[in-house]
Structure 1
Amino acid sequence: MPVTDVITDPENLTLTILADFAAPVERVWAAYSDPRQLERFWGPPGWPATFTEFDHTVGGFAQYHLDGPRGEKSSGRWEFTRIEAPALFEVLDSFVDESGQPIDGFPAMRMTLAFSPTAEGTRMTGTSHFDSVEALEQVLAMGVIEGTKAAMGQLDTVLQDLRDYAQGKGTRVELLDDTHVRITRLVDGPQELVWRAHHDPELMKQWLLGPDGWEMTECEIATESGQAYRYSWAPVGDPETSSGQARQAFGFEGEALLVDATRRAVTTEKMQGTDGPVTLNDLSFYEEDGATLITLLVEYPDVETRDMILATGMVDGMEASYARMEDLVLV
């Protein structure tokens, strides 16, 4: 985890976050001064950022919004007041509404991000200055420390070449907390085709099968928010028996909460024929140099459900499916 220390100083009305990165100052500076790179880590997992304006000059503005998995939105604006590349920049940081106007009752702050070389790479010192103890306490109560730690945990991916970071490493699982799991897999193909492979029934039936010996028997896809989906699988050659016993099938169903082709799809999921448990699946895609990183952020209702589902061999089945996708669909 890049964040190494958090210092809250009510006397001086500051909040300071220290983070260390195994990359040179110039590379870290590039990540913080490019809106497309900022979008990959400024929001915490499940709340990706979109920068709609970015004038990285003194007096210029940056405006962004964070989109939550259930349709929530939080917006912010920076006014750049000082830039000394690649050592630091300073902004006036405000919470704003959808029109870009400051929201009454939410504190504005002066934020300085400084980058200095270390033996291992770069130390980032982020200091936010507040007008009052009440403003500092309000931001702390909003979870800024936890959100910043989670967001910066994504920066290592950005600082490395995507293929160096993920190629050949298979399907990887990170336990973010008791109820959130992040699963990543790099596939060698363009983002548009990887998206199609997840949303075209004929393509899905070629690869989304888990271990060998299974087939997809039902594939109803949700292409818009609010639509339902339903997927089923069964062993190959396992027809209904003469006694009428049902096939050894299983499946999942749910609803699409957000569909942002070809970037992101958020759905609920539960086992067919049951009342739950229900998970929230936040699937996103990012392409670099012809390869696409698939990221699945899963929210479980509790740690017991998380551990039960992971113990089913779900990740091994996902790896078999992704390998099949590369062999059959992305060629």
Structure 2
Amino acid sequence: MPVTSMTTDPEALTMTLVSDFPVPVERLWGAFADPRKLERFWGPPGYPATFGGYDLRPGGVAHYWMTSPEGERFFGRWDFEEVEEPLRIVARDAFADADGEIDASIPAGRMTLTFESTAVGSRVTVVSASPTAEALEQVIAMGQVEGMTQAFGQLDTVLADLREYALGKGTITEILDDTHVKITRAFEAPRHLLWRAHTEPELMTRWLLGPDGWVMTICENDLVVGGSYRNAWAPEDPTQGEPFGFEGENLVIDPERRMVTTERMTGLDAPGTVNDLTFDEADGVTLMTLYITYADAAQRDMILATGMTDGMEASYQRLERELVDA
């Protein structure tokens, strides 16, 4: 976890986050100067940011929104007051509407980012100042402390060389808490090919099979928000298992970047999951990240115990072979 500290000061009306990284300060600055890199970490898991405009200069404006797993958008705006590369950014930080107009119902704050070199790399200190005690209490109650901590917890992946960080390490499953699991897998391929492989039935049926000996018998998807999908599998040898399937609804469709769906086993009266799948590309390597939300720890443990990670890795190895021929 790269976040060194996250503190609040009711007297100074501030929240201060300090985060350290083993990279030069110029590289750290670059993650904040490039909106495509910002999109990979600005916003906690499940609420990634999209920057519709980003003019990093004094007098410039950034307009962005975070999209929840249910597809709801939360808009923000930064008005840059100071920009000193690679040392300092000061911006008025406000909530906004879809057009980028400031939402006056929530007091705007001021965000100061300071970048500095350290003995082992670099550090960014983020000070968010509120105009009143009530405004500070409001943003804390909205979860800004937790949100910033989780967002900056993702920055190390953005700063890392994906080839060294993830390529060749297979499918990695990480239990985050009782109801959330994070799964990552890197591919040496552009993300548009990964997106096609996850959305085009003629491609999906060639790799999304789990262990050898199974075939995909149904692959249907109305690939729009609110559309439904259905997938099913069966063993080539009927004595080796029972056919099964999954179905659900598309909650978010952001082509080549993000797909959020509900998922439940066909014919089973049990809670489903929410699957949040994203694709991030850097230098020809695409990192695929899947956040799964379970109903409870018991459901999480039951599904993980089925050998899900091994089954996914078998499919992804098959997908890699398909990508070579694409």
Question: Fold conserved (TM > 0.5)?
Answer: yes
CA-based RMSD of the aligned residues comes to 1.6
Q: Which of 246, 266, 272 is 1:272 aligned to?
A: 266
Question: Residue by residue, what CA displacement relative to the aligned partner does 1:139-190 show, whole Å, maximum 9, x if unpaired?
Answer: 1101111111111111111101221211011111222332221111111222
Unpaired runs of 5+ residues, structure 1, are 241-246
Residue from 309, 316, 319 that aligns with 2:313? 319
2:233 aligns with 233
User: Does the alignment pair 1:259 with 2:253?
Assistant: yes
Task: Report if aligned partners of 1:218, 1:232 keep a CA contact under 8 Å in 2.
Answer: yes
What is the rounded CA distance, in whole Å, between the counterparts of 1:224 and 1:330 in structure 2? 29
For the residue of structure 1 that corresponds to 2:292, the secondary structure is: strand
The amino acid that maps onto 1:97 is D
- Cα deviation for residue 329 of structure 1 reads 4.1
Deviations 1:82-138 (A, max 9, x none): 122111111100001112222232121111111111222112111111111111111
Kept in 2, the 8 Å contact 1:207–1:324? The answer is yes
State how far apart, in whole Å, the 2-side matches of 1:196 and 1:34 are.
26
2:93 is the alignment partner of 1:93: yes
Q: Name structure 2 gaps, 5 residues minimum.
A: none
- Identical aligned pairs, as a percentage? 56
Query: How far is the alpha carbon of 1:314 from its aligned partner?
Result: 0.6
Distance 1:227 1:79 in 2: 38
User: Is 1:308 matched up with 2:302?
Assistant: yes
**Alpha-carbon distance between aligned partners in 2 of 1:176 and 1:117, rounded to the nearest angstrom:** 31
**Contact map agreement 1:178 1:303 (CA 8 A) in 2:** yes
**Pair 1:77-2:77 in alignment:** yes
2:169 aligned counterpart, secondary structure: coil
Contact 1:193–1:330 at 8 Å: present in 2 too? no
**Where does 1:1-331 land on structure 2 (aligned, <5 Å)?**
1-238=1-238, 248-331=242-325
Distance 2:12 2:283 in 1: 46
Q: Distance in 1 between matches of 2:99 and 2:222?
A: 31
**Contact 1:269/1:281 (8 A) holds in 2:** yes
SS in 2 for 1:164: helix
Q: Which amino acid aligns with 2:207?
A: W
How far apart in 2 are the matches of 1:306 and 1:208? Answer: 21
State the alpha-carbon separation in 1 of the partners of residues 120 and 22 from structure 2. Answer: 6
| Structure 1 position 239, deviation (Å) | 8.1
Q: What SS class does the counterpart of residue 176 from structure 1 fall into?
A: strand
Three-state SS of the structure 1 residue aligned to 2:105 is coil
1:200: how far off? Answer: 1.7
Give the partner amino acid of 2:230: R
Structure 1 residues 244-267: Cα deviation after superposition (integer angstroms, max 9, x where no partner): xxx711111111112222222111
